């Protein structure tokens, strides 16, 4: 099959989270199974600077954006995974310091930026030879694509994947004019949402198939509690909705080959993991002896259950454990972690920022990983942790619930509160103290297969049902 993925992120060139990781790995895995796969994203400044071999093609597309007609040159390269990458050039939209916004504020023209992007993707698809059969749109930034395809009756099948329902691309109704779509699409059966325009809603209602990133999340988002206001729209499409657990790039996240960590190891050579712990402690000038080291790598936002981590931290620190935190986000959380590091200078290290290499070293060097997300569409760090023998403690929700087996490959807690999380953390601490059980748990955890190859047939099934 010939599939064109449209998304706003691609690891390692332009990434803010798990979306970019999926776009790097899933198309490559499908390509490995013999499909013709390409990815299209905006020509961000970051992409321009980091994607080797990126060159402009002879192709340019014209896009109507409200009253303007804008031209976009198409650039092309091959990603490090061998997948063709197209990039849509429009410097006034994409040649900026960040992908979505700065200083905690979204860019004021995100509606224009991503409506433009979605329209340019469709125009590109029409110009490609051979034409893609499937346009696979990801998240709100590309969610207008299915609606454009339907309204223009174009010969593509469309799939929308929701990586996080909390981000919907909601804009003032006046921005609807940028779509140049007939007015009746700004009605509740399409984009209209409480007097505003909701791009993700349009994608949900008009895509031929809708997927999300775990079976658990696919069920949860049909409820009022987790539906983020779109459970009604999702209910009408529940026959077309599938949850497929994300995989990981098992080459990039492989402790036996990871060049960024102090000592490579696998399930048969676990003692070498200790060297990574020593190196991490030394790097952060921590001293906790043989006590357990907890790790957190996360956007520091409400979704990630940061307040639970902050409230159990004093208890585990008083027992002598260590804590390493890598992340950025809400200033309040950043400040509270920094305060904790001042209170416990020998036990707590906090690194504010985004650092891919340090993320690997934390996964390799910690004993226990904390991921008590309030909700979690899939989550990736629990997989990376398991692969690195770093036992995850997770909230039993969404993809976390689907990927961790309680007591077998990690620890889970049901109720989102300090008490249940604290209990699970204590169970982890007890297990850590059991020198017989702990390595058995680590080895079993490391032997799980979370590679994308296992997920490919599930996506193929969806594509095949459409063409």
- Specify the stretch interacting with ligand ADP by CB under 6 A; choose among 32-40, 107-115, 189-197, 293-301: 293-301
In the structure encoding, which two tokens stand for residue 261, read together? 């960590």
State how far the Cα of 347 lies from the Cα of 362, in Å rounded to an integer: 14
Quote the least distance from Cβ 194 to ligand ADP, whole Å. Answer: 25
Q: How many residues sit close enough to ligand ADP to count as binding (CB under 6 A)?
A: 17
Quote the least distance from Cβ 168 to ligand ADP, whole Å. Answer: 15
Quote the least distance from Cβ 266 to ligand ADP, whole Å. Answer: 20
Q: Counting contacts by CB under 6 A, is residue 400 touching ligand ADP?
A: no
Residue nearer to ligand ADP on the CB measure, 38 or 298: 298
Residue nearer to ligand ADP on the CB measure, 157 or 304: 304
Residue nearer to ligand ADP on the CB measure, 107 or 354: 354
Identify the residue among 219, 299, 338, 444 touching ligand ADP (CB under 6 A): 299
Q: Counting contacts by CB under 6 A, is residue 326 touching ligand ADP?
A: yes
Identify the residue among 107, 283, 354, 416 touching ligand ADP (CB under 6 A): 354
Q: What is the distance between the terminal CA atoms of the chain, rounded to a whole angstrom?
A: 9
Q: Counting contacts by CB under 6 A, is residue 306 touching ligand ADP?
A: no
Quote the least distance from Cβ 395 to ligand ADP, whole Å. Answer: 13
Q: Counting contacts by CB under 6 A, is residue 247 touching ligand ADP?
A: no
- Specify the stretch interacting with ligand ADP by CB under 6 A; choose among 41-49, 104-112, 297-305, 434-442: 297-305
Query: Count of CB atoms within 10 A of residue 316's CB?
Result: 23
Q: Counting contacts by CB under 6 A, is residue 243 touching ligand ADP?
A: no
Q: Counting contacts by CB under 6 A, is residue 327 touching ligand ADP?
A: yes
- Specify the stretch interacting with ligand ADP by CB under 6 A; choose among 65-73, 201-209, 296-304, 330-338: 296-304
In the structure encoding, which two tokens stand for residue 221, read together? 């988002």
- Specify the stretch interacting with ligand ADP by CB under 6 A; choose among 23-31, 125-133, 323-331, 404-412: 323-331
Residue nearer to ligand ADP on the CB measure, 17 or 229: 17
Q: With 0-12 CB in 10 A as exposed, 13-18 as middle and 19+ as buried, what is 80?
A: middle
- Specify the stretch interacting with ligand ADP by CB under 6 A; choose among 15-23, 37-45, 178-186, 277-285: 15-23
- Specify the stretch interacting with ligand ADP by CB under 6 A; choose among 89-97, 125-133, 352-360, 435-443: 352-360
Residue nearer to ligand ADP on the CB measure, 281 or 359: 359
* Distances from the Cα of 249 to the Cα of 183, 446, 450, angstroms: 43, 14, 9
Please tell me the total number of residues recorded for the chain in this structure.
467
Residue nearer to ligand ADP on the CB measure, 203 or 379: 379
Residue nearer to ligand ADP on the CB measure, 21 or 258: 21
Identify residues 355-374 at the interface with ligand ADP (CB under 6 A).
Answer: 355-356, 359
Identify residues 99-118 at the interface with ligand ADP (CB under 6 A).
Answer: none
Quote the least distance from Cβ 16 to ligand ADP, whole Å. Answer: 7
Residue nearer to ligand ADP on the CB measure, 12 or 422: 12
Considering only the C-alpha atoms of the chain, give the largest distance between any 2 of them, rounded to a whole number of Å.
Answer: 70
Q: Counting contacts by CB under 6 A, is residue 297 touching ligand ADP?
A: yes
In the structure encoding, which two tokens stand for residue 94, read together? 């994409």
Residue nearer to ligand ADP on the CB measure, 18 or 203: 18
Identify the residue among 198, 298, 347, 409 touching ligand ADP (CB under 6 A): 298
Closest residue to ligand ADP: CB criterion: 18
Q: Counting contacts by CB under 6 A, is residue 379 touching ligand ADP?
A: yes
State how far the Cα of 329 lies from the Cα of 377, in Å rounded to an integer: 19
Q: Counting contacts by CB under 6 A, is residue 409 touching ligand ADP?
A: no
Interface residue list for ligand ADP (CB under 6 A): 17-18, 21, 297-299, 326-328, 354-356, 359, 378-381
């Amino acid at each position: 099959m010939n599939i064109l993925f449209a998304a706003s992120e691609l690891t390692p060139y332009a990434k803010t989270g798990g979306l970019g990781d999926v776009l790097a790995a899933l198309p490559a895995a499908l390509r490995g199974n013999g499909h013709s796969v390409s990815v299209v994203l905006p020509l961000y400044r970051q992409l321009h600077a980091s994607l080797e071999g990126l060159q402009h093609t002879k192709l340019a597309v014209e896009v109507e954006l409200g009253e303007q007609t804008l031209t976009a040159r198409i650039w092309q390269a091959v990603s490090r995974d061998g997948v063709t990458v197209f990039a849509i050039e429009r410097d006034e939209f994409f040649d900026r310091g960040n992908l979505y916004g700065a200083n905690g504020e979204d860019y004021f023209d995100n509606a224009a930026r991503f409506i433009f992007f979605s329209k340019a993707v469709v125009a590109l698809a029409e110009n490609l030879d051979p034409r893609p059969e499937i346009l696979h749109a990801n998240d709100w930034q590309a969610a207008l694509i299915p609606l454009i395809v339907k309204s223009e009756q174009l010969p593509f099948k469309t799939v929308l994947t929701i990586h996080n329902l909390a981000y919907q691309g909601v804009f003032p109704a006046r921005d609807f004019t940028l779509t140049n779509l007939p007015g009746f699409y700004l009605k509740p059966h399409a984009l209209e949402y409480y007097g505003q325009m909701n791009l993700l809603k349009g994608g949900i209602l008009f895509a031929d198939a809708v997927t999300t990133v775990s079976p658990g999340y696919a069920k949860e988002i049909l409820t009022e509690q987790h539906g983020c206001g779109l459970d009604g729209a999702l209910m009408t499409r529940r026959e077309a909705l599938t949850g497929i657990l994300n995989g990981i790039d098992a080459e990039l996240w492989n402790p036996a080959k990871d060049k960024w960590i102090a000592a490579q190891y696998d399930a048969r050579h676990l003692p070498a993991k200790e060297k990574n712990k020593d190196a991490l402690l030394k790097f952060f000038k921590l001293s906790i002896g043989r006590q357990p080291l907890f790790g957190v790598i996360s956007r520091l936002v409400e979704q990630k259950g940061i307040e639970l981590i902050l409230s159990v931290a004093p208890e585990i620190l008083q027992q002598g454990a260590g804590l390493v935190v890598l992340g950025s986000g809400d200033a309040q959380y950043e400040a509270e972690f920094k305060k904790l590091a001042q209170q416990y200078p020998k036990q707590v290290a906090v690194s504010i920022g985004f650092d891919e290499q340090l993320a690997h070293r934390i996964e390799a060097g910690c004993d226990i990983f904390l991921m008590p997300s309030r909700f979690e569409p899939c989550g990736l760090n629990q997989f990376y942790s398991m692969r690195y023998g770093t036992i995850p403690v997770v909230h039993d929700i969404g993809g976390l619930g689907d990927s961790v087996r309680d007591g077998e490959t990690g620890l889970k807690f049901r109720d989102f509160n300090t008490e249940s999380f604290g209990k699970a953390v204590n169970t982890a601490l007890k297990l850590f103290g059991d020198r017989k059980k702990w390595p058995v748990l680590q080895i079993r955890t490391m032997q799980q297969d979370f590679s994308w190859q296992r997920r490919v047939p599930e996506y193929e099934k969806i594509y095949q049902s459409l063409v």
